[in-house]
Amino acid sequence: MPNILQTVNIVKYYGNKGNITKALTGISFDVEKGEYIGVMGASGSGKTTLLNCISTIDSVTSGHILINGQNITEMDRRSLARFRREHLGFVFQDFNLLDTLTCFENIALALTILKIPPRQIEKRVKAIAQALNIGEILTKYPYQVSGGQKQRVACARALVTNPSLVLADEPTGALDSKSAGALLESFRHLVHTRAATILMVTHDAFAASHCDRILFIRDGKLFYQLVRATETRKQFFDRIIEVVALMGGDSDDVS
Amino acid sequence: MLAKLALGNVRKSLRDYTIYFITIAFGVCIFYTFNSIESQQVMINATESQQMALKLLGGFMDAFSVFISLVLCFLIVYANNFLIKRRKKEFGIYLILGMEKRSISWILVLETVLVGLAGLIFGIILGIVVSQGMTLVTAWMLNSEVTAYQFVFSQIATIKTVIYFGLTFLLTLIFNIITINKQQLIDLINSVRKNERFTPPHLIRSVLLFIGALGCIAVAYYLMSQGTLFNDQVISLAIIALIVLGTFVFFLSLSGFFLKLLQQCKGLYLRNLNMFILRQINSRIHTNYVSMAFVCLMISIAIAALSSGTAIAGAITAEQRDDSPFDATLSIQRTIAKGTDELAVYAPLDIPRALQSQGIDLDSLGVSWVALPLYKGPAELNIQLPDGYVSDLVPNIIRLSDYNAAAALRGEKPLTLSDGRFVLRANQPEGVWKDALVKYLEGNPTIDIGGSRLSTSLELFNTTIIETLATRTTALDVIVSDAVVDAAVQNGSILPVHRTIVDIDYGTQTKESTVVDDALAQLVNGRSIVSADGVELGFILETKNNVMQTGSSATTIISYIALYLGMVFLIAAAALLAIAQLSETSDNVSRYRLLCKIGTEERMLRHALFCQIAIYFGAPLLLACAHAFVGILALNSTLSTMKGMDLLGSSLFAALVMVIIYGGYFLATYLGSRSILDREAIRQIAVD
């Protein structure tokens, strides 16, 4: 399988000369097409920074990020915006739906900014809504539907453009465990049927247990990598817990 | 410490304060300029009557300034409230840090005073500069010259400006302190989140309301087009009520209506950010429709004032020019009480001989003159106008040869009259009054004078003005051949001359017309002619210069009041919109940020922003133009007794003022909003 995402020694420093925060201190990894990959770490570990860098809304201090073979660290602002709308899909923890638009319009927005002919838009939105089981709520406003449904709408918005890479930032963070489970299952299903690649940032071991592979980040570095082989989700979950315990057990975090 | 904080705040929120500051400065500048008009006369070589006019204008400005200052006061308080609302969170933080409400109030006091003082000083300086130019305009409008240039600084205007705006700032302060003291800490902290409550639109209801609003406005327009605006108070009130109601409902339902309409054509709705723009406007319409409606009504008044003011002024000037065909007119009139035996008291008045007998020698002034005697027609000559017009009008009778002598003095061709015909003459080249006469003449009427039956027709209608007039009268004259007049006088069927006008032409002395005016006045001053029944008849002198000056004074007063009202309303309207839109852009930063995140082109975002602001500025403007257009037409038809107002020219003038003030505010708002978009969304995508 070809690599859809390749990061080479990413470093990200914040601040100026006198006061530097080292968010990422050299991270390299590859993601294959169709993979469902999780990124875990405690808060402050740099996982959101990593996601922001990959999603091109933040720039790296040094290093390279290649998505579909294109080096996004060398693009200007305009090309980056173009790249984002053509190749990436976003799912945020707080959904980030526009409250003034109906669910249908929220999904269609991703297509209208791509200047897709209006005739195709309706068909594509309906199709993705069917796949995510939200066909009935399309005419409703975000505030009229449940959190789980909102996040499905957000997923639909991210996927309707058929992006090469979907970036999800704590997608289950604002959901109850039942909705979270259902959403993650839908995600799983999409990975299989659409050959979508998903990179999910989470600190929830339960959410992470749905992934194929998990990267553990600590203090801006890749700390550990866990690949799900043939074991059940429960077994994978237990292994994740072990790593989390190992990371958290470090004396640095306690003091 | 607090002063430092206040100064820092002003500097930090300079962007927020810009529009506020500009508005204060503009308001002060206009206020000062118009109130300093009276002091400007030191530079103008004004005659006594012009000085009177300037004084009168000063009085008008005083009266209007009270009203204007109320408008500006409302605007400043409103703008200030907006700034305060946007800073609630900041105040919440101060409170959490343990600052007392009193200290926060102090910060606000200092900030208000700081910005107010700066705006006041800047505005007065600007006003002093503008008023220098205004003096030249005043002199030009009064047909007068500027003596020597002199720097004019009006102490009275300055003091007035300081007092009025000082009071306004005081009011602002009180409002601010009340606002702060009313607030609960929790509300201040949560104010950002609280602002974003969203209520879904009822689109069907919007469509119905929109149709209702259009209906209201259409009915009002229809009533206005019937020319009833100024005739009947009840109907006038009904029209105003309908317009106001229609305007409010129009803006309440406008976005919903268009949203529904555009949703029907998917091709347009799902193109670029169109649906985002419409939803955006629709979502805030409940907070914005009141201000949009107010803005629309204010612009309507501004356009109407600006264009009809200059049009009326222009019409007055044109009419004054037409009303003074001769350099001067001397007239003698004998009026008698009703019921007196008219034939007995009227004795034929031979003006040239009467003048001579009084030792008044017009020829000594080196002028040419013509005496034009007007015979009083008998009551039977009553002209029957169509229904709905005054009908007891007895015309004067003029000999053809006398009329032609006056025409020759003006350098015009003589009138010829075939046997058995007469000419009807009126001082009304246009208007309702003329229409009535035309209707009368279309019936090819006949009259009997001294036993001869005379006829006339529309082609013979004459509206030449035969004397220099101060005001256009509704007097009617019948011009008939000398033979008919002589016969009628002989058999006593018409009354003798009751008024004689002496038209005077200065010939080569036109340049020194004022000198001749004075000489003429001196000649007839205190002189009189004694009629046959022993009544002393005085001379009435009307000069062209006098008529023109009266006209220019009226023109100046009307134009200035129109300009004053129009500009203040325009600034108030534009500033209101600008402040609302700038703060709305800030409120929507998170939405724009999301659009950036999912990769929207910058150009598309800016276009969306532009469209939103253009709609907010454009919609009230368009409706206001419609209101003003219909209103001006109604005004025009009512005032059309005046010679045709130059509506095109004055509308162009209004448009120019509009483009400068309203366009300027629009541009400032767009650029300000765009810089907010660039700074806080496009370059700051990562922030949540």
pLDDT in tens, B245-301: 999 999 999 888 888 888 888 888 888 888 898 888 888 777 788 888 988 998 998
Contact B266 A84 (CB under 8 A): no
Q: Is the pLDDT of residue B342 over 80?
A: no
CB proximity under 8 Å: B 193-222 to A? 196, 198, 200
B518 at interface of A, judged by CB pairs closer than 8 A: no
Computed over every residue of chain B, the mean pLDDT equals 80
Q: Are B582 and B669 in contact (CB under 8 A)?
A: yes
Q: Is A77 in CB contact (< 8 Å) with chain B?
A: yes
User: Of the candidates B275, B597, B601, which has its C-beta nearest A101's C-beta?
Assistant: B275
Which residue of B266, B281, B597, B683 is the best one to mutate when testing the A interface, meaning the one whose CB has the most A CBs within 10 A?
Answer: B597
Q: Which of B349, B339, B397 is nearest to B533 (CA)?
A: B349
Domain assignment present for residue A15? The answer is: no
Whether residue B34 is found in the same domain as residue B177 = yes
Helix (H, G, I), strand (E, B) or coil at B192: helix
Nearest-by-Cβ selection for A113 from B598, B686, B688: B598
Residue A183 falls within a domain, yes or no? yes
Tell me the H-state helices in chain A: 47-54, 77-87, 103-112, 118-131, 147-159, 177-194, 205-208, 233-248, 251-254
A residues 35-64 closer than 8 Å to B (CB): 52, 55, 57-58
Q: Tell me the two tokens of residue B49.
A: 């009557």
Q: How confident is the model at residue B663, as a pLDDT?
A: 92
Does residue A208 have a pLDDT over 60? yes
Q: Determine, yes or no, domain membership for B662.
A: no
How confident is residue B645, by pLDDT bands cut at 50, 70 and 90? low
- Local structure of B618: helix, strand or coil: helix
What is the structure's pLDDT at A253?
Answer: 44
B127-173 residue pLDDT tens? 998 888 888 777 777 766 666 677 778 888 899 899 988 888 888 88
- B-interface mutation test, from A98, A126, A138, A143, most B Cβ less than 10 A away: A98
Interface test with B, best of A106, A113, A115, A137 (most B CBs within 10 A): A113
Q: Which of residues 228-287 of B touch A (CB under 8 A)?
A: 266-276, 279-280, 282-283
Q: B interface mutation test: which of A56, A93, A100, A105 has the most B CBs within 10 A?
A: A100
| B340 pLDDT more than 80 | no
Residues 6+ apart with CB under 8 A from B150: B42, B43
Helices (H) and strands (E) in chain A, counts: 9, 10
Closest approach of A101 to chain B, Cα-based (Å): 6
Range of the domain at A138: 34-56+77-254
**Residue at A102 is within a domain:** yes
Q: How far apart are CA A27 and CA A46, in angstroms?
A: 10
Query: Chain A window 144-203: which residues touch B at a Cβ cutoff of 8 Å?
Result: 144, 157
Q: Say yes or no to pLDDT of B541 above 80.
A: yes
Say which of A88, A100, A122 has its CB closest to residue B198: A100
Task: Note whether A74 contacts B: Cβ–Cβ < 8 A.
Answer: no
Pairwise CA distance, residues B428 & B425, whole Å: 9
Kindly indicate the confidence band of residue B194, based on its pLDDT and cuts at 50, 70 and 90: very low
Rg (CA), chain B: 34
Provide the sign of the torsion angle of the four alpha carbons B504, B508, B514, B519, taken in this order.
Answer: negative
pLDDT of B544: 83
Q: Which residue in the block uniquely carries the two structure tokens 């025409």?
A: B407
The total number of structural domains that make up chain A: 1
Q: Is A139 on the interface with B (CB under 8 A)?
A: no
CB contacts of A78 in chain B (<8 Å) are 601-602
- Which of residues B173, B195, B217 is at a domain's end? B195
Question: What's the CA dihedral at A225, A229, A232, A234 to 10 degrees?
Answer: -10
Q: Are B279 and A100 in contact (CB under 8 A)?
A: yes
Q: Are B395 and B498 in contact (CB under 8 A)?
A: no
Q: Which domain holds residue B57?
A: 1-195
pLDDT at A251 over 60: no
- Choose from B263, B282, B600, B606 for mutation: most chain A CBs within 10 A: B600
Helix (H, G, I), strand (E, B) or coil at A152: helix
Residue A60 in tokens: 């790296």
In the predicted structure, residue B387 carries a pLDDT above the cut 80: no
Say what the pLDDT of residue B389 is. Answer: 66
- B434 in a domain, yes or no? yes
Min Cα distance A83 → chain B (Å) is 7
> Closest partner residue to A84 among B196, B599, B604, by Cβ?
B599
Chain B residues whose CB is inside 8 A of the A118 CB are 266-271
The per-residue pLDDT for B281 is: 84
pLDDT band at B626 (very low <50, low <70, confident <90, very high): very high
Residue at B584 is within a domain: no
pLDDT at B345: 47
Specify the higher pLDDT residue, B428 or B670. Answer: B670
For residue B588, is it within any domain?
no
Q: Residue A64 belongs to what H/E stretch?
A: strand A62-67
Q: Which residue of A has its CA nearest to B201?
A: A100
- Under an 8 A CB cutoff, do A112 and B272 touch? yes
Closest CB from B196, B270, B599 relative to A81 = B599
Nearest CB among B198, B602, B686 relative to A57 is that of B686
Cβ-Cβ contacts under 8 Å for B472 (sequence gap 6 or more): B319, B323, B427, B428, B465, B641
In a domain, B279, yes or no: no
Position B602 in a domain: no
Contacts of A157 in chain B (CB under 8 A): 598
Helix (H, G, I), strand (E, B) or coil at A208: helix
- Judged by a CB distance cut-off of 8 A, whether residue A110 touches chain B is yes
Q: What is the dihedral of CA B141, B143, B148, B152, to 10 degrees?
A: -30
A72 lies in a domain?
no
Measure in Å the smallest separation between the Cα of B290 and chain A Cα atoms. Answer: 20
| ∠ Cα B428 B432 B437 (to 5°) | 65
- Which residues in chain B have their CB less than 8 angstroms from residue A115's CB? 271-272
Q: Map tokens 């005085």 to a residue.
A: B538
Coil vs helix vs strand at B462:
strand
Report whether pLDDT(A254) > 50.
Answer: no
Answer yes or no: is A68 within a domain: no
Decide if A14 touches B, using CB distance below 8 A.
Answer: no
**Cα(B395)–Cα(B382) distance, integer angstroms:** 7
Within an 8 Å CB–CB cutoff, is residue A218 touching chain B? Answer: no
Size of interface A-B (CB pairs under 8 A): 93
Q: Are strands B396-399 and B368-376 parallel, antiparallel or unpaired?
A: antiparallel
Question: Does residue B37 sit within a domain?
Answer: yes
Closest CA to B292 of B617, B628, B673: B617
Q: Which of A38-52, B439-453, B549-563 has the highest mean pLDDT?
A: A38-52
Label residue B97 exposed, middle or buried (CB < 10 Å: 0-12, 13-18, 19+).
Answer: exposed
Coil, helix or strand for B685?
coil
**Which pLDDT tens digit goes with each residue over B72-129?**
888 888 888 777 777 777 788 888 888 888 888 888 888 888 888 999 999 999 999 8
Interface predicted TM-score (ipTM) over 0.95 = no
Q: How far is A53 from chain B (nearest CA, A)?
A: 9
Residue A155 lies in a domain: yes
- What average pLDDT score do residues A168-179 get? 84
CB contact under 8 A, B198 and A141: yes
Higher pLDDT, B417 or B391: B417
**Stretch B490-513: mean pLDDT:** 77
Could you tell me the CATH number of the domain that includes residue A214?
Answer: 3.40.50.300
Distance (Å) from the C-alpha of residue B233 to the closest C-alpha of chain A?
45
Question: How far does B261 lie from chain A, in Å, by closest CA?
Answer: 16
Q: How confident is the model at residue B533 (pLDDT cuts 50, 70, 90)?
A: low
Asked if the C-beta of B586 comes within 8 angstroms of chain A's C-beta atoms, the answer is: no
**More confidently predicted of B431 and B404:** B404
Q: Is residue A119 part of a domain?
A: yes
Residue A63 burial (CB count, 10 A): 17
What's the pLDDT at B195? 46
- B331 in contact with A, Cβ within 8 Å: no
Dihedral sign of CA atoms B84, B85, B90, B91 in order: positive
Residue A32, C-beta contacts closer than 8 angstroms, at least 6 positions apart? A1, A2, A3, A4, A197
Residue pointed to by tokens 């991210």: A158
Domain count across chain B: 2
Who wins on pLDDT, B367 or B664? B664
CA dist B35 and B155 (Å) reads: 10
Judged by average pLDDT, the poorest of A207-216, B419-428, B620-629 is B419-428
Handedness of CA A226, A232, A233, A235 (dihedral sign): negative
Cross-chain CB nearest to A118 (options B198, B270, B273) = B270
Amino acid letter for position B304:
A
Q: Tokens at residue B89, please? A: 């969170």
> Are A99 and B198 a contacting pair at CB < 8 A?
yes
Residue that wins the pLDDT comparison between A1 and A141: A141
Any domain includes A218: yes
Residue of A nearest to B682 (CA): A77
Residue B498 has pLDDT above 90, yes or no: no
Q: Residue B688 has what pLDDT?
A: 53
Give the per-residue pLDDT at A255: 36
Rounded (10°) CA dihedral B464, B465, B466, B470: 180
Alpha-carbon distance A49 to A41, whole Å?
12
How far apart (Å, rounded) are the C-alpha atoms in residues A29 and A214?
11
Q: Domain end: B136, B162, B195, which one?
A: B195
With contact defined as beta carbons under 8 Å apart, do B399 and B420 qualify? no
- pLDDT value at B217 more than 90: yes
Domain termination residue (choose one: B142, B162, B195): B195
- CA distance to partner chain B, nearest, from residue A115 (Å): 6
Residues B195-205 have a mean pLDDT of: 69
**Partners of residue B279 in chain A, C-beta under 8 Å:** 98, 100-101, 105
Of B452-456, B504-508, B591-595, B684-688, the poorest mean pLDDT is in B684-688
